[in-house]
């Protein structure tokens, strides 16, 4: 029988609106600490910035990895007129973001624009940020980061906001941490710099050396009107990873996760990506090889300020993670 955990969506609101591009995760890390500090035995911040939340249990060591960083941009130059040139931090597609607002950590706002004679141009150096805070647009901004500005809104079934990739995953992990009494020695790691090369996960996996790892991340929902070959759709359940460009999940782990989902009547979809990767890539290659599985939350318009998720899919991801961690055989049968 399925056991639905309680989800407080005010937490997701806070998480999505927190500033935290890759390499600048201080604010989101502070927020996460405030959310989990009363629901764990130990909190560690490693030298790269990963937030390691330890909940002690009698079983083997299980790692849940969920990245807390978001895509963003970094200022590379300020021209004499005060226009800000930038480079992408993560998978930012400027051609899709013209006239999108961005926010700096000090609450200075700007708008992405492009030189007028380059319609359709993909070269990043032709794009810039125009900010009304002219006095703030000095050379001191070089090296500063900004994130996409996308307010949080929700309906009965859907959520729209920036950075649901992967704050929806962080949300599910936080809510599970609050309610789980794990049979395993549980480490939930909110990793850094996933969007620029899964860097935090490499460190965490090699240091913790878990017996089993589960990676919780977003995946691309492609159920658009023009797509006749949809692979992942909103409202059809969480994703169970089969493969992406960084990993092919072992059949044993994949079927174990799917078996628990079927037993608990948790809806799921098979996730097969021919591009991109997650923290599962470096984790499964660490320490001579770590058994690794993946749970995904479908997101439409990923890496834009208007990412959309279905609450039922978030619930399914949280329930599945809870069920896996609450299964007495979680570690023993896999190692």
User: Residues marked as binding for Zn(2+)?
Assistant: 67, 165, 195, 217, 303
The torsion angles phi and psi of 204, rounded to 5 degrees, stand at -60, -45
Provide the 3-class DSSP secondary structure of residue 312. helix
Cα dihedral sign, 133-31-150-83: positive
The candidate with the shortest Cα–Cα distance to 134, out of 81, 85, 74, is 81
The candidate with the shortest Cα–Cα distance to 312, out of 49, 7, 33, 47, is 7
Burial pattern 275-293, b for ≥16 Cβ within 10 A else e, equals eebbbbbbbbbbeeebbbb
Cα dihedral sign, 262-267-271-277: negative
- The pair of structure tokens assigned to 330 is 């979680």
- The pair of structure tokens assigned to 48 is 């790269």
Provide the 3-class DSSP secondary structure of residue 173. helix
Cα separation, 169 vs 164, in Å, equals 8
Q: Which of the residues 25, 70, 175, 194 is marked catalytic?
A: 194
Q: Residues at the annotated binding site?
A: 67, 165, 195, 217, 303
The candidate with the shortest Cα–Cα distance to 44, out of 257, 175, 188, 182, is 188
Strand partners, 54: 42, 187
Residue 70 annotated to the active site: no
Active site residues: 194
């Amino acid at each position: 029988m399925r056991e639905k955990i309680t989800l407080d969506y005010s937490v997701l609101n806070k998480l999505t609106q927190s500033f935290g591009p890759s390499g600048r995760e201080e604010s989101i890390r502070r927020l996460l600490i405030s959310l989990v500090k009363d629901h764990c035995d130990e909190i560690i911040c490693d030298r790269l910035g990963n937030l390691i939340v330890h909940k002690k249990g009698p079983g083997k060591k299980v790692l849940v990895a969920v990245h807390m960083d978001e895509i963003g941009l970094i200022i590379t130059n300020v021209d004499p007129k005060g226009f800000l040139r930038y480079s992408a931090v993560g998978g930012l597609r400027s051609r899709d973001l013209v006239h999108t607002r961005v926010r700096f950590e000090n609450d200075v706002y700007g708008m992405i624009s492009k030189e007028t004679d380059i319609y359709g141009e993909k070269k990043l150096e032709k794009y810039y940020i125009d900010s009304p805070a002219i006095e703030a647009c000095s050379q001191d901004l070089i090296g500063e980061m900004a994130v996409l500005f996308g307010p949080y809104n929700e309906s009965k079934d859907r959520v729209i906001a920036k950075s649901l990739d992967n704050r929806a995953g962080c949300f599910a992990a936080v809510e599970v941490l609050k309610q789980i009494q794990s049979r395993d020695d549980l480490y939930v790691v909110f990793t850094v710099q996933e969007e620029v090369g899964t860097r935090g996960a490499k460190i965490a996996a090699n240091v913790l050396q878990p017996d089993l790892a589960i990676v919780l991340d977003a995946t691309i929902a492609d159920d658009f009107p023009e797509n006749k070959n949809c692979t992942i759709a909103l409202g059809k359940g969480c994703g169970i990873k089969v493969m992406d460009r960084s990993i092919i999940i072992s059949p044993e782990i994949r079927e174990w996760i799917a078996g628990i989902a079927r037993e608990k009547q948790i809806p799921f979809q098979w996730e097969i990506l021919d591009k991109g990767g997650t923290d599962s890539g470096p984790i499964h290659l660490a320490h001579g090889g770590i058994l690794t599985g993946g749970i995904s939350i479908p997101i439409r318009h990923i890496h834009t300020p208007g990412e959309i998720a279905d609450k039922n899919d978030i619930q399914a991801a949280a329930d599945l993670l809870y069920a896996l961690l609450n299964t007495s055989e979680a570690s023993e049968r896999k190692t």
